[in-house]
Structure 1
Amino acid sequence: MTAPSPRGPAAAGPAPASAPAAKPGSRMFASLAVRNYRYFFFGQFISNSGTWMQFVAQDWLVFHLTGSTFAVGVTTALQFLPVLLFGLFGGVVADRYPKRRILLTTQGAMGLFAAALAVLTLTGTVEVAHVYVFAFLLGLMNVFANPAIQTFVPEMVGPERIANAVSLGAVNFQSARLLGPAVAGPLIVVIGSGWAFALNALSYLAVIASLLAVRAAELLPSKPAPREKGQVRAGLRHVREHPQLMLPIVLVGFVCTFGFNFPTLLSGFAYNVFDGGAKEFGFLTTAVGLGALAGALLSARRRSGSAVVMVVTAAAFGVLEALTSAAPGIWWFGALMVLVGLLNVTFATTANALVQLNTDPSMRGRVMGLYMLVYTGGTPIGGPVVGWAVQHYGARAGILACGLVAVAAAAVVGLVALRAPRAGAVPGD
């Protein structure tokens, strides 16, 4: 599935014959030339926009019900706890079964969960315990959806477009990150959180329709893994034996567990530092999304990446996040968070592409399951810790500590990388 690498596993298979070669001028959007990916991309955009609306509405609802940033952190933790507990098993499922079938099942279930939360909120019967339960159920579906998405994309675009498709996936997600909060903030203020949940429920119809429109004959499915004992251990062993996989995953784990806890940090700044409300929280979330979108677009234009880029951007992200602790006002803070968002996505897309391109196709589900476990599963640890720090020591101290953790992690991984085999590069030059 990946292109040959002198430092990684062998490649598998050519690109689909129906996928036209990308022209130099269209390199940024090369993967959209593939029909299946194009349909999936736009379906995901609509669904991701609804999801971001729900995230903002959910965080605001919990804070409104409890008045506690710690409770917001608990909600975030519950949303990602299933990935921490069962993420590796989700990768095994992605290697065993057709990805489209997994995604149709999980997206339908998540749409029903959003609809149920909408009904509870609109009828005025919602309690914080309800939000906690649905956050956990959403995370449970993501155990299976995340590795399925990560492994379905290479099946649609072929090996030579993986790096571009990863970056365009980030463009998709971050574009939705801009649109969702921009709509959710005013919507919550005017008519309440319940309608944001309802719109998210409807948004899942778009991604389900896009999956149904995929032409199976144009896919490059990997050979399903047989049911046998020790598959999780085999995936872990594969990562342990390849530094080009191990180092990005370790760094992503540390940076994401603490540095990416934006809901908790931004709610603390919006409500406690800048004495604002849902509108200010939406503004800060949008600022991060704007920078992240710029970072994703820049990543899509890049023809290559390396472990050096990954480590440097992780360190720069941490330094800048720490510096935001001294921002004198909300506009300065928002401007700095644009840059934080840019470095956030540049780091994440580089790490993701390195892992995808250096993974044996037969192991991709399990490896990406582990990747998504550390990418999102560390949040149940970091969320409450960061929420507790913000509540007891203030948002400024909390974001300073988060940034310093990212800097320390980048420094340690960088030193280890100097002594280990090189972590690979994204092909394309």
Structure 2
Amino acid sequence: MPEENRGTSTLPTPEKTGYGPVFAVREFRAVFLAHALSLLGVVVSEIALTVLVYEMTGSPLLSALVFALGFLPYLVGGTLLSGVADRFPPRRVLVVCDLVCAGCAALMALPATPVAALLVLRCVIAAVSPVFSGTRMATLTDILGDGDLFVLGRSLLRIVSQSAVLVGFGLGGVLLTVVSPRGALAVTLGTFLASALLLRLGTRRRPARAGGGALVRYSLSGARQVLADRRIRALLLLLWVPPMFVVAPEALAAAYADEIGVGTAWIGLLMCAMPVGTIAGELYAGAALSPATRSRIVLPLAGGGLLPLLLYPFHPGLGWILLVLVLAGSAGAYTLGLDRWFVDAVPEELRGRAMTVHTAGLMTIQGVGMALAGAAAEFWAVSTVVGGVGVLGTVCCVLLAVEVRRTGRSREDEGTALVKGRGERVEKGANIDTRDGADHDMTGR
């Protein structure tokens, strides 16, 4: 790939820790702002669509389906369409995904659109999302390289995502006091179009990473390659499994508030505490810790991040529970170092599909975690369920951390053996050359 297309020749040298060098890259600034706009569009559309469906049907079930449909299609889009991220130029993929979402938002905003069509359009947006996210993640390695700048760039995008949980729903609620739900969907249309324009004008055109073959077969082949590699599979599971367990307290926040007898106003605090911890942990790890330190804390944080949840069954005060949630959220800083390991482990021609599978799996497994936590709370007290999640989750995460360490050592041993083998071949070649040279010298004399 030509150097000018990779966009790495003007990258600042990340000599010091912090996010400043990332924002110094012009293309990243465009990607960052586009991400914030498109995410705002998704959050506002979820709120507006939930309210709209409830107004049209009066059905809590159909209204709740709006959120459920935000998770389910991720698995389909992330497996059957993951090949899009590698087969087509990334800028084109990103812009087209934004335009598809904008088209869906425009149709949702039409007064004549029925409820069934609204839910189908919601599914389309959710199916496109993992393709968009996977392509953007892979593109970051072109824009920022695959070193520490990539890690910090990914961290910033995650911080925006977590902030959207805190700010987006509040803004969406305020917006709905001013405009109708369909009017809010029209605002969503504007955010998707603005994101598409930023990506089209603010990023360079780069060629596709790979190509050829039927799309579905190509996508499934990539997923199989990703999951068949023991090292990549272990890293993916460590990226997926802790979030699967850590969503339990948020999913059960309303039930827990009822269990301990606090007002509905506290539900918001219970749901916000963990995102606050996640943002604080990411910001501290990215701004204050060196790349080497971030790598050292990956396995301890991933293995022990759920331990604070063990305090739930002891029924501490609400202040302690909020602190527990902040601590559990801050352990998410392990992903900074793990992101680097993941990129290093995935071949470049497979990155788009690997990133898409990662995104699809993460969203799907969080939905599964929420559902399982809710099902368990039908039989046991919420405090018992969350405590059990802390125990079971910690066991699973420790086992995965051991597997990641083991596969890392195996990969290092393979690399050492390869280098040693090459060295032996070079040494033998040098000896042969020396003997041949000596013979020639003797013959010459």
Give TM class, smaller chain: 0.7 to 0.9
**Alignment partner of 1:156 is 2:143:** yes
Tell me the CA shift for residue 247 of structure 1.
1.0
Tell me the CA shift for residue 361 of structure 1.
0.6
The 1:16–1:143 alpha-carbon spacing in structure 2 relative to 1, beyond 3 Å, is closer
Q: Is the 8 A contact 2:86 2:351 kept in 1?
A: yes
Partner AA of 1:104 in structure 2? V
What are the residue-to-residue correspondences of 1:118-197 with 2, within 5 Å? 132-160=119-147, 161-185=149-173, 197=185
Tell me the CA shift for residue 304 of structure 1.
3.4
**Alignment partner of 1:21 is 2:13:** yes
Partner AA of 1:350 in structure 2? G
Aligned to 1:369: 356
What are the residue-to-residue correspondences of 1:330-341 with 2, within 5 Å? 331-341=319-329
Tell me the CA shift for residue 88 of structure 1.
2.2
Tell me the CA shift for residue 282 of structure 1.
4.1
Q: Is the 8 A contact 1:244 1:358 kept in 2?
A: yes
Deviates more, 1:260-269 or 1:356-365: 260-269
Partner AA of 1:249 in structure 2? L
Tell me the CA shift for residue 363 of structure 1.
0.7
Q: Identify the match of residue 278 of structure 2 among 263, 272, 292.
A: 292
Aligned to 2:241: 254
Q: Is the 8 A contact 1:102 1:148 kept in 2?
A: yes
Q: Identify the match of residue 235 of structure 1 among 222, 242, 249.
A: 222
Q: Is the 8 A contact 1:182 1:283 kept in 2?
A: no
Larger RCO: 1 or 2 (CA < 8 Å, sep 6+): 1
What are the residue-to-residue correspondences of 1:3-402 with 2, within 5 Å? 16-22=8-14, 24=16, 27-55=18-46, 72=64, 75-114=66-105, 116-117=107-108, 132-160=119-147, 161-185=149-173, 197-216=185-204, 221=207, 223-227=209-213, 231-232=218-219, 234-236=221-223, 238-240=225-227, 242-260=229-247, 264-269=251-256, 276-277=263-264, 280-301=266-287, 302=289, 303-304=291-292, 309-324=297-312, 328=316, 331-344=319-332, 346-402=333-389
Unaligned runs of 5+ in 1: 2-12
* Aligned-CA RMSD value: 3.9
Tell me the CA shift for residue 291 of structure 1.
1.6
Partner AA of 1:24 in structure 2? K
SS in 1 for 2:82: helix
The 1:232–1:206 alpha-carbon spacing in structure 2 relative to 1, beyond 3 Å, is closer
Q: Residue deviations 1:58-92, cap 9 Å, x none?
A: 67888995567x984x6544322222234123321
Tell me the CA shift for residue 109 of structure 1.
2.6
* CA distance in 1: counterparts of 2:410 and 2:190, whole angstroms: 42
Tell me the CA shift for residue 320 of structure 1.
2.1
Identity of aligned residues (%): 21
TM-score using structure 1 length: 0.77
Deviates more, 1:386-395 or 1:82-91: 386-395
Choose 1 or 2 for highest CA Rg: 2
Q: Is the 8 A contact 2:48 2:181 kept in 1?
A: yes
* CA distance in 2: counterparts of 1:18 and 1:243, whole angstroms: 35
Q: Is the 8 A contact 1:225 1:362 kept in 2?
A: no
Q: Is the 8 A contact 2:248 2:370 kept in 1?
A: yes
* CA distance in 2: counterparts of 1:332 and 1:393, whole angstroms: 22
SS in 1 for 2:377: helix
The 1:357–1:192 alpha-carbon spacing in structure 2 relative to 1, beyond 3 Å, is farther
Q: Residue deviations 1:27-47, cap 9 Å, x none?
A: 323221111111111221233
Unaligned runs of 5+ in 2: 413-445
Q: Residue deviations 1:106-156, cap 9 Å, x none?
A: 222323434555667xx9x986x6775454232111132121121121122
